[in-house]
Amino acid sequence: MDEEKTVDEKQAKRLPLSLYGLSPQDISTVLELQKPYQGRQIWDWLVKGATSFEQMTNLSLAERHRLQESMPAFVSSSIQSSQIDETGATKLAIRLHDGKIVECVMLSDKEGRKTACLSSQVGCAMGCAFCRTGTMGLSRNLAAEEIIEQFMHLKTLGEITHIVFMGMGEPMANFGAVTRAIRYFHEPAGLDISLRRITISTCGVVPGIFKLAEQKLGVRLAVSLVTADNMQRDRLMPVNKAWPLEELRKALIRYQHAVGKRFTFEYCMIHAVNTDEKSARKLAQYIRDLDVMINLIPWNPAAELPWETPTTQEIDEFTNMLDRLRVPYTRRFSRGRDINGACGQLAVPLNTGK
């Protein structure tokens, strides 16, 4: 009840739900600060992860009290629960201001990279047949501040070096909020995450790839391909009916020319579905003339879905075929699988919302 009251009070006063994502000038305006430089001071504290005005010790005590009273909570979401697996992957369930839940994951690797896997939507409308999030349907888009706050919650676990938009939702279907959040992450005076360390992953929403090419945002692009056979892709990924493989290819060639960067295809390997010789040959043919790296990811189990993870032998045979066909690939090992935090495993009941 208290949380709902705070939201209502903010709306009555026309305060934003969060200070994250606002510029120093906007912070000055919404908080009615007397001295313009205080907007920058507060912005700096937010970047450091401050959660209350009390922590902002370069503001006068009187000002801190005034701000605390006028906006008791300036973060719109909170950590509802946290799970960690033996690889060190940590999944957070984040409770949003309207009671809905999204999940985000922190992944660590041996090279010391800490990657924040962020969600862009509550649920997803794309309905990929191999993905748990796809079973939820779409509840709503996330606002940029809600995306930024996921990062800030994960940042309490350690310094983040990389960001991937591979959590819940299709980032291209919420392009404005995602790019606003990216600009915040990249701001040199703030979090200063290099654009080369940020990846947007799409299931193949062609207009989004064109937009990315036009805007030359500088982030990395990953496309979930799964199969290079149109009929099979239609069945596994409904997005293919709107933008079949030929359309996707045209968009990727445009992207490549505009941005001049290698992109990746995510190839989720599903037992006895897309790991045979025909699949390897189609893949080799499809990537001809594309500057692409294939990320091979074994399907991560989800009890409610009818697929199986390929065996090690099956993966070995598939990669041998790719070697013979000179397909460049990297073999990924799933992290976060035991906590349902790996690729395609994120899902929460939608009825947790109002």
Is the separation of the CB atoms in 305 and 132 below 8 Å?
Answer: yes
What is the sign of the dihedral through the CA atoms of 265, 221, 21 and 16?
A: negative
**Range in contact with ligand SF4 (rule: CB under 6 A) among 28-36, 74-82, 164-172, 242-250:** 164-172
Nearer to ligand SF4, 99 or 137 (CB): 137
Nearer to ligand SF4, 127 or 244 (CB): 127
Minimum Å gap between C-beta 315 and ligand SF4 is: 20
Exposure string of 202-235, with b = 16+ CB inside 10 Å and e = fewer, is bbbbbebbbbbbeeebebbbbbbbbbbbeebbee
Minimum Å gap between C-beta 127 and ligand SF4 is: 6
Does position 344 interact with ligand SF4 (CB under 6 A)? The reply is: yes
Nearest to 106 by CA among 54, 147, 162: 162
Q: Any idea how long the chain is?
A: 354
CA distance to 125, 158, 290, 351, per residue, from 49 (Å): 32, 12, 41, 30
Is the separation of the CB atoms in 145 and 18 below 8 Å?
Answer: yes
With CB under 6 A as the contact rule, the residue among 147, 203, 269, 297 that binds ligand SF4 is 203
Q: How many whole angstroms separate alpha carbon 272 and alpha carbon 276?
A: 7
Exposure string of 157-183, with b = 16+ CB inside 10 Å and e = fewer, is beebbbbbbbbbbbbbbbbebbbebbe
With CB under 6 A as the contact rule, the residue among 17, 30, 92, 126 that binds ligand SF4 is 126
Minimum Å gap between C-beta 168 and ligand SF4 is: 6
**Range in contact with ligand SF4 (rule: CB under 6 A) among 87-95, 143-151, 162-170, 190-198:** 162-170
Nearer to ligand SF4, 71 or 92 (CB): 92
Q: How many whole angstroms separate alpha carbon 297 and alpha carbon 333?
A: 7
Q: How many whole angstroms separate alpha carbon 115 and alpha carbon 113?
A: 6
CB atoms within 10 A of CB 274: 26
Amino acid at 50: A
Tokens of 160: 């983040």
Nearer to ligand SF4, 87 or 224 (CB): 224
Does position 347 interact with ligand SF4 (CB under 6 A)? The reply is: no
Nearer to ligand SF4, 90 or 224 (CB): 224
**DSSP-derived secondary structure for 285-313:** HHTTT--EEEEEEEPPP-TTS---PPPHH
With CB under 6 A as the contact rule, the residue among 75, 170, 179, 348 that binds ligand SF4 is 170
Q: How many whole angstroms separate alpha carbon 209 and alpha carbon 292?
A: 15
Q: Give the contact letters, 70-109, x = binds to ligand SF4 (CB under 6 A), - = no.
A: ----------------------------------------
**Range in contact with ligand SF4 (rule: CB under 6 A) among 91-99, 106-114, 128-136, 276-284:** 128-136
Instruction: Report, as residue numbers or ranges, the catalytic residues.
Output: 103, 343
Minimum Å gap between C-beta 125 and ligand SF4 is: 7
Nearer to ligand SF4, 78 or 230 (CB): 230
Strand partners, 93: 81, 103
Tokens of 233: 């892709």
Q: Give the contact letters, 216-255, x = binds to ligand SF4 (CB under 6 A), - = no.
A: --------x-------------------------------
Strand partners, 141: 121
| H-helix or E-strand spanning residue 24 | helix 24-30
**Range in contact with ligand SF4 (rule: CB under 6 A) among 103-111, 123-131, 242-250, 272-280:** 123-131
DSSP letter for 352, please.
G
Minimum Å gap between C-beta 225 and ligand SF4 is: 11
Does position 348 interact with ligand SF4 (CB under 6 A)? The reply is: no
Minimum Å gap between C-beta 63 and ligand SF4 is: 43
Nearer to ligand SF4, 96 or 173 (CB): 173
Interface size with ligand SF4, residues (CB under 6 A): 13
Sites of contact with ligand SF4 (CB under 6 A): 124, 126-128, 131, 133-134, 168-170, 203, 224, 344
